[in-house]
Chains A and B, each alone.
Chain A
Amino acid sequence: MSGNKNTDAEVMTGDIPISTPPMGFRVIAREFLRDRVALGAFVILVLLIVGIFVGSLAIDLDKVMRVSLMDQYAPPSADFLLGTDSGGRDILGQLIVGARNSILIGIAVTILTSILGVLVGITAGFYGGVIDNILMRIVDFIMLLPTTMLIIVFVTIVKNYDVWSFILIMSAFYWVGQARLIRSKALSEGRRDYISASKTMGTPSLYIMFREIMPNLSSLIIVNVTLNFAANIGIETGLTYLGFGLPSSTPSLGTLVSYASSPDILENKTWVWLPASLLILTLMLSINYVGQALKRAADAKQRLG
């Protein structure tokens, strides 16, 4: 028996460098310090988010949205740092409120899709067999749908359309990618010895799934949540740009960009739509870059530090 224990211990110590351990804060910090661009992206992201949320607290939305035709399409000046739109409304104020809404919606969709994706993925991966087959056929089918068009159709036919309907409609289509990814990892994780041992000892399935398998997938989940967050902001602003996203009472960054549908504004009044477009781009780039750095930190083979 003692000999057995020894080999077990050896296998375990031998396994540690190869497997992907849950990320420690120190590993992440080291990765970011090694990669200056990632650090820069992180700092920009934190500054932007703090700026947007603090700024939106200081802003009086009613004052921003008050129409004053005297100031119609005022170019950037001391009064209006980024100029005004067709109703003489301050662009900077709309930009901050819009960015806050876009970020909050992005977070809400990311949370919902991640919960559903992780639940379905781990369930399918843990049980395998028929359950896996059924769940994955559903996932595959949703992945094959023309998602953008169906979301637009649902947005137009839902009664009493509000922000929450939009979040639910978007989430209904975007959880499948996460589910598929988590499932493939959970499938291989579920075949490992420690899970078999746990099953033999009679540990309840739910406990194995969410206290034993899930922690070992945490780095994968964190990386994906980050990348999905960026993608969701892009999708939301895009749909709002087309006019099928947030209801008009809730301005988003896409709302500001959508003013550019008029050629005159696109060509001559760039202050209306360009800052919002660049802000979306900056957010997407920095979140993605942070996500990529996290991805490297999660994989011992790719780490820089």
Chain B
Amino acid sequence: MWKTVVRRILLMIPQIFILSILVFGVAKLMPGDPFTGLITPETDPMVIEMLRERAGLNDPVPVQYFRWLGNALQDVMTIIGMRAQNTILLSALSLVLTYLIALPLGMFAGRYNDSFFDKAVVVYNYVSFAIPTFVLALLMLWLFGYTLNWFPTSGSVDVTYASGSMDYFLNRAYHLVLPGITAAFLGTTSIIQYLRSEVIDAKTQDYVKTARSKGVPETVVYNRHIFRNSALPIASTLGYQITFLIGGSVFIEQIFAFPGMGQLFVSSINSRDYSVITALVLLFGVATLFGTLLSDIIMSIVDPRIRID
């Protein structure tokens, strides 16, 4: 198994390298350099040239690339503070909620398929598959935030609480609930669909018949025998869920005015803060790569057939 993991990690190094080259290329495309605003018709071209020379803009491209990479990494370090913490907390909560909602729904819908409950789950799945993130987030904010006043409508914590107190943590958690549920609702679709059809398939399989004929109670057949077999591949969706959450965070954080990295991205775009933008794209890109890496590793643990030995 370790061979597979090491191979997979080695495969990621060129991917990260190409990603950084791409982001560097995009950064070079961004309009203007720091001196564009200073240039007036009277400025001596020699002076501009000297300034550019001193800032290293005339250096060979590889030199510029490594200098840019160094700066971007520094920017990443400064971003990893409150913002990253918020986004990671929100993603972790969404992940937990996703599995908490999806596993029971998928199991029950599969066990009692064609029942009223199953049909309701199928409808739920249709809606969660079709609805765009921003529409759902807005409807949730409007309904539960503004109309029913159940949840706060913006921010990650109220300013009135002292950092570190119990109330502070509770208040932070309270702010996470609505965006967390929204992201989880969208993430459940594929898991429910997969689990439901797996359970329906498993019903007629030999190992289930064997278990039944041994006299294993029906609930145990489902919750142990079938669940273990059907849910294992779902473990490997963990990484893809992370990738999915990263993509959605731009919308969810923007709508719930939640100060995480997705919202930072939108505000840096609006203020044309190019160094933060490139740092964030790089960070999110690497996070996406790690998400798929995680999925592949879990897959190789769960399913011995795909290991290279």
Contacts and interface: CB of A to CB of B under 8 A. Distances in A.
Interface of A: 141, 144-150, 152-154, 156-157, 159, 230, 234-235, 237-238, 241-244, 254, 257, 260, 263, 266-267, 270, 273-274, 277, 280-281, 284-285, 288-289, 292
Contacts of A154: 26
B60 interface: no
Interface in B127-146: 127, 129-135, 138-139, 141-142, 146
A140 to B, nearest CB: 9
B135 A277 contact: yes
Contacts of B250: 148-149, 152, 242
Given A156-B269, A234-B132, A263 B284 contact: no
B263 to A, nearest CB: 11
Contact of A150 (B31, B135, B146, B281): B281
Given A146-B281, A266-B138, A277-B139, A238 B269 contact: no
B246 A267 contact: no
A298 to B, nearest CB: 18
Pick the most buried of B29, B132, B146: most chain A CB atoms within 10 A of its CB.
Answer: B132
B269 A152 contact: yes
Given A146-B246, A153-B269, A267 B142 contact: yes
19 contacts: A144-B289, A145-B288, A146-B247, A148-B251, A152-B265, A152-B269, A153-B269, A254-B134, A263-B146, A266-B138, A266-B146, A267-B142, A267-B147, A270-B142, A284-B130, A285-B126, A285-B131, A288-B129, A289-B126
Query: Interface extent on B, as a size class?
Result: 35 or more
B15 interface: yes
Contacts of A152: 250, 265-266, 269
10 closest A-B pairs by CB = A234-B132, A146-B284, A284-B130, A267-B146, A288-B130, A285-B130, A238-B134, A277-B135, A241-B134, A146-B285
A148 B281 CA distance: 10
Contacts of B19: 144-145
A119 B130 CA distance: 27
A280 B30 contact: no
Contacts of B146: 263, 266-267
A194 B284 CA distance: 46
B147 to A, nearest CB: 8
B280 interface: yes
Given A145-B19, A148-B250, A153 B26 contact: yes
Contacts of A285: 126-127, 130-131
A266 B130 contact: no
B285 A257 contact: no
A242 B142 contact: no
A70 to B, nearest CB: 28
Interface of B: 15, 18-19, 22, 26, 29-31, 126-127, 129-135, 138-139, 141-142, 146-147, 153, 246-247, 250-251, 254, 265-266, 269-270, 272, 277, 280-281, 284-285, 288-289, 292
Nearest to A234: B132
A280 B251 CA distance: 16
Given A149-B250, A242-B266, A141 B142 contact: no
Q: Which of B250, B254, B285 gathers most chain A CB within 10 Å?
A: B250
Contacts of A148: 247, 250-251
Contact of A284 (B26, B132, B138, B289): B132
A152 to B, nearest CB: 6
A242 B130 contact: no
